[in-house]
Structure 1
């Protein structure tokens, strides 16, 4: 009897399962809902794959449905790629979707600009995803802006071995720029006709100069950058109307402020350079200047979102005016191993999201003559960060061999007991080192209200009443226009900008 009972129960279970309606699917008859009616895949460079974008498809009915067809409008010829229900392709049949459930579709593209030549350097590529057939068909549009570009990268020899360049006793993935490269182009002159996308480290050879024109757009790939060799030079000469922009090669808005997308602009021992009206975004180190032969000059330069330092000088010579250096993992500006530095009307503002960062850091290594801090002058500047101390000075030399001075500058220094009670090198009442400074030792003292630090809008606003007009007029005459072109020859503010109006609520 027990055997018969078991067989009966098994038969009953099969019958019950076969009668379930959960997995009966009816043909789709329109009525799908979508998270977007158009998917905009952000700008891509020719032949560089996009990020992956998501479309969510909803079945809001009480019935399980089977979508007869999910396909790209151009079918297999489309430059878009789909992933539907875990399957990659461009055309899919009989896609099942349970009642009150949803389906993810992942979308990517890679487009060759040369297949769509026009008189511009960019074009819109479009397609669509069709759902169903006939009168029940629905669609979602796909749109991508494609940019043409100059691509610079290491070449490969007949054996397929990639080009390298010697650096610090090793070979790194990179190539030399020249007046005539393998395509007979002058890669030592970067123009504004279309963007440059660079893979590996582009090196400026000795005795050569890299010229970068106003309006040029430079995009470095991951682990890429620029090396300037001994006796070589870089001249990045933008204008206020046509600044030069140097950043990573990910153009999606989500990457607009992601630090560390590429390496550095590295001026090696014996090199030099001039940077005017130049914006540098999202590097590991923005400018790394290493024991240069001539003074590197910076004017109207902005550097943002460096994972290490915005500017790192090593026994270097740097002069800067209207320089703005924003968030950095270590310091906005670091003058290490001594050197000679002078900045006027510059803003070093660091709101890095993790601790142990600062605005300005100076050191003379072991205090020996080779690494002497010969000069570090900051006039009409702002040194401010979200950390308690926006100025760090580490010195091993005797005070008489350490030469620095801060004049008419705002310095945040929340030391225990008040920063003005500290000894050398932080004896803020000593005019040999600190002259007419605005020392912020608590939150509401000389507080700068920046327009929007999260978006690197580091202008002080009219709420900054304690610091407005506190710049030295004689110093301001040296740089009569601020970074936005405003006249500062009367009541100059500290930092790179004259104050602006606070945003309205």
Structure 2
């Protein structure tokens, strides 16, 4: 009898310790907490999947609840997709959420093209139904249709600003051909895509409508990541190129010139342009003729500007800065040389002419300007009134290794305008450049660099 009583006691104790399934409450007063009341995406190019956004639903109650349904409002007609419990699905029923637990939902959008020039609103919602309650979390993005261009050779075309252009491979502007890009036009490049110019490129914007060359992904982290496309290449024979009021960023090489000829007339003229976030170089030239005015180049991997194997280069009122240094660099980021090593026993050399006036050459290294005459070719230098990061004296220029000696407003926020106490203020000489990079009128005592400081009243 004693053993039997002991047996029943053990069974009762074992039953009491066994976990019980949490009861589901159907009380309408039980509320849920959502991490967001809407899920928003940046403007997205049509027919291209977005990055993923997260939405968390939290049950703060002690009791479990059961969703009668979680569903996309437009169901199969939605541009959005959701992943619930690891599965992509339009809706789920009878999904349980324990007390004190949370449910994560992943949201993506793939905007369907509508053949419209202007960006258009793409809306839907995720509907949550439980205990006679209903909650809508809005899904919001803007879609943008574009003109897709693959691996082609083009001639005598004009690209308008009606809608963006997406270059998915290599586009070549043929010899004796011209590509005209209107102001306000956006050109987006897929991974490793490039624009090659054998003829002529005319890309002229204005202070209100820049021309943009950039990566095709611009949602989330992709907005500021270098190396997402190749670059713009000017090939041998290319001439009469002009780029003005443009932005070139998030690629490998902004402008790459390899256009040797028998004269010193600039084959590429660049003005009022920003080149930044390039994994290799902002401007990279080989035995080429180049003129650059009112241009800002920053955050580039190896070179802000490099001119090798000779060439003719002119820079006026430019700002070149790799401060802060987001890449590991052991050498100066602005370099010119009369030679380049082809192989162990082969050195390509040519005469080098360099003019630089009212420019800022700055960075995190001790010396940011290097001129190499190791090829034995003729070198003609005209460096006047520049601010150069260097420990060496440079006649007719200002050199320093002091922190932020030029006086940038906030280089760490990529703001290379000049602050009110900047050394570069009023230190320029008249170089015949009436306006700055933004189109602001320079005064009788111009500032050094691409920006003219305008004091507020």
Quote the residue 2:185 is aligned against. Answer: 216
Q: Give yes or no for the alignment of 1:45 onto 2:5.
A: no
Deviation at 1:287, TM superposition (A): 0.4
Q: Does residue 438 of structure 1 match 2:398?
A: yes
Select 1:274's aligned residue among 229, 233, 242. 242
Q: Is 1:470 paired with 2:443?
A: no
The structure showing larger relative contact order (alpha-carbon pairs under 8 Å, at least 6 residues apart) is: 2
1:109 pairs with 2:109:
yes
Contact 2:322 2:362 in 1 (8 A): yes
- Tell me what 1:394 maps to: 372
| Residue of 194, 215, 235 corresponding to 2:163 | 194
Q: CA deviation at 1:443?
A: 3.0
Q: Which residue of 1 aligns with 2:285?
A: 313
Retained in 1: the 8 A contact 2:259–2:289? yes
Q: Would you say the 8 A contact 1:461–1:501 is kept in 2? A: no
Aligned counterpart, 2:135:
138
Indicate how the Cα distance of structure 1 residues 315 and 20 shifts in structure 2: closer, same or farther if over 3 A, else same. Answer: same
Can you list the C-alpha shifts for 1:237-283, whole angstroms capped at 9, x where unaligned? 11222221111112225333221121100112221321111111111
> What pairs with 1:239-254 in structure 2 (closer than 5 Å)?
239-252=206-219, 254=221
Contact 1:55 1:106 (8 Å CA) reproduced: yes
Query: How many Å separate the matches in 1 of 2:177 and 2:13?
Result: 84
Q: Deviations over 1:133-170 (max 9, x none)?
A: 574111210011011111112xxxxxxxxxxxxxxxxx
Aligned residues: 442
Unmatched 5+ stretches in structure 1? 154-173, 180-187, 414-418, 421-427, 429-433
Task: Say what the alpha-carbon RMSD is for the aligned residues.
Answer: 2.7
* Closer/same/farther in 2, CA of residues 176 and 132 from structure 1, 3 Å limit: same
1:450-469 per-position Cα deviation (integer Å, ceiling 9, x unaligned): 233344331111121x3311
Distance 1:338 1:133, change over 3 A: same
Residues 428-467 of structure 1 show CA distances to partners (whole Å, capped at 9, x for unaligned) of: 3xxxxx44211113337xx122233344331111121x33
Structure 2 residue 180 is matched with structure 1 residue 206: no
Q: How does 1:14-33 map to 2 (within 5 A)?
A: 15-16=15-16, 18-21=18-21, 23-27=22-26, 29=28, 30-33=30-33
Q: What whole-Å deviation, never above 9, does each CA across 1:201-252 have from its counterpart, x for those lacking one?
A: 11111111111111111111111120112xx111111122222111111222
Note if contact 1:460-1:500 (Cα within 8 Å) is conserved in structure 2.
Answer: no
Equivalent-residue separation in structure 2 for 1:147 and 1:199 (angstroms): 16
Q: Cα gap change, 1:8/1:152 in structure 2, threshold over 3 Å: closer, same or farther?
A: farther
**Matches of 1:10 and 1:306 in 2, distance apart?**
73
| Rounded Cα–Cα distance in structure 2 between residues aligned with 1:235 and 1:384 | 30
Unaligned runs of 5+ in 2: none
Partner residue, 1:99: 99
- Alignment of 1:355 with 2:328, yes or no, is yes
| Alpha-carbon displacement from aligned partner over 1:31-73 (angstroms, at most 9, x marks no partner) | 1111110111211111111111111111112223222211111
* Alpha-carbon spacing, 1:373–1:461, altered in 2? closer, same or farther (3 Å): farther
* Structure 1 residues 411-430: aligned runs within 5 Å: 411-413=388-390, 419-420=391-392, 428=393
> What does residue 479 of structure 1 align with?
433
Residues 1:133 and 1:98: Cα distance change in structure 2 (over 3 Å) = closer
Whole-Å separation in 2 of the counterparts to 1:259 and 1:407: 32
TM-score normalised over the length of structure 2? 0.89
Give the C-alpha shift of residue 189 in structure 1. 1.5
SS at match of 1:255: helix
Measured at CA, do residues 17 and 314 of structure 1 come closer, stay the same or move farther in structure 2, by a change above 3 Å? farther
How far 1:369 moved relative to its partner? 9.3
Pick closer, same or farther for the CA change 1:435–1:98 going to 2, 3 Å: same
Change in CA separation of 1:372 and 1:292 when aligned onto 2, cut-off 3 Å = closer
Q: How far, CA to CA, are the matches of 1:151 and 1:301 in structure 2? A: 25
CA contact (8 A) 2:290 2:312 kept: yes
Q: Quote the residue 1:408 is aligned against.
A: 385
Normalised TM-score (structure 1):
0.81
Matched, 1:233 2:187: no
Q: Does residue 365 of structure 1 match 2:339?
A: yes
1:266 partner SS: strand
Q: Is the 8 A contact 1:42 1:252 kept in 2?
A: yes
Check whether the contact 1:377–1:406 (CA below 8 A) recurs between aligned residues: yes
